[in-house]
Amino acid sequence: MVDISARERAAFRDDGVVFVGQALSPDLVAAAHELFEWSLAHPSGSACEFYPDEPGRFYQDLCHPEAAFAYRDFLERSPLADIVAQLWSGDEVWFLYEQVFVKDRAATRRTPWHQDSPYLALDGNDLAVVWINFSPIAQAHSLEFVRGSHRGPLYDGSAFDDEDDTRPIYAHGLPRLPDIEADRSSFDIVSFDIEPGDVVIFHPAVLHGGAPTTADSRRETLSLRFFGQDAVYAERPEPAPAPLTAGLHDALGVGERFRHPAFPRLRPSVTGFESIPKIDGHGQPLKTQIRTEPN
């Protein structure tokens, strides 16, 4: 059992991000790494390289339709569901989806500053992204966060465009992202040195972006997403690309409790794995699912 302190709870609530040192034991880090490898070996239709023309590779995949089954043992055994429940107000925890990132081959550019919420069809306080890495990451190459920004405006998503990090995905209905890199000193930016076993947990509405990595490093990241009691289905300017669940937008109405058989519950007891509907693989790489409107 990992006990979350009042200071950690306050950091998640007020800053939108908290570092939890050595949350995962070495055997759980090894189990998580096996799952990361499983995801690489079983790419879904949503897998893509964000910048295929650049020497540094930045690969991602997410929401594999079989992932809940592959990840089940780890999700049940690891303390992550208990940790996020302690950060939230309610004790119910559902698994939303997994995402993997690889940065390697050469120095890679930054992950653009963005919030996850504009890409996601859900809102609430009880939402968490757990960022897990398998090798040490110096603060200079780690994920960065704008403290408290989850309480501020919801911006349009970044289209991960080669030329313009703030290029929007919807281009209507939400303000364009600020150019945080051009004006870093105006933002309260925080990041952490990471050792295997440490996790960084953030609210999906917090502004975050990955610092560049160097030529001699390979960054392997597993990001696990959870939701809790107060999560509701949210409207975005157009049907949100994530989670990639067939029929989700027809099944739920705006403001309705976010509950769907695709998402198994982990706490207070494990239920729902048996009734996850069989979902066809996703058709298109993420980069083509997030719209890239003209500027």
Ligand X SMILES: O=C(O)CCC(=O)C(=O)O
Q: Give the residue nearest to ligand X (CB).
A: 210
Taking a C-beta distance cutoff of 8 angstroms, is the pair 84, 194 a contact? no
Shortest approach of ligand X to residue 277 CB, angstroms?
A: 25
| Residue list 114-143, contact with ligand X (CB under 6 A) | 116, 129, 131, 143
Q: Which of 44, 78, 111, 117 binds ligand X (CB under 6 A)?
A: 111
Per CB under 6 A, does 187 bind ligand X? no
Nearest CB to ligand X, comparing residues 4 and 222: 222
Nearest CB to ligand X, comparing residues 242 and 266: 242
Residue keyed to tokens 């990241």: 221
Shortest approach of ligand X to residue 102 CB, angstroms?
A: 9
Query: What are residue 109's DSSP bridge partners?
Result: none
Nearest CB to ligand X, comparing residues 78 and 223: 223
Residue 105 structure tokens = 């081959």
Cα distance between residue 257 and residue 133, in whole Å: 32
Query: What are residue 103's DSSP bridge partners?
Result: 58, 219
Nearest CB to ligand X, comparing residues 131 and 192: 131
| Residue list 39-98, contact with ligand X (CB under 6 A) | none
Nearest CB to ligand X, comparing residues 158 and 278: 158
Beta-sheet pairing, 48-49 with 219-228:
unpaired
Q: Which of 16, 79, 210, 243 binds ligand X (CB under 6 A)?
A: 210
Nearest CB to ligand X, comparing residues 211 and 270: 211
Q: Which of 149, 166, 221, 245 binds ligand X (CB under 6 A)?
A: 221
Q: Which of 39, 44, 46, 223 binds ligand X (CB under 6 A)?
A: 223
Cα distance between residue 196 and residue 26, in whole Å: 8
Shortest approach of ligand X to residue 131 CB, angstroms?
A: 5
Cα distance between residue 82 and residue 86, in whole Å: 6
Nearest to 177 by CA among 100, 112, 131: 112
Cα distance between residue 203 and residue 146, in whole Å: 11
Nearest to 200 by CA among 257, 244, 139: 139
274's CB contacts (< 8 A; 6+ apart) are: none
Residues of this chain that interact with ligand X (CB under 6 A) are: 99, 101, 111, 116, 129, 131, 143, 208, 210, 221, 223
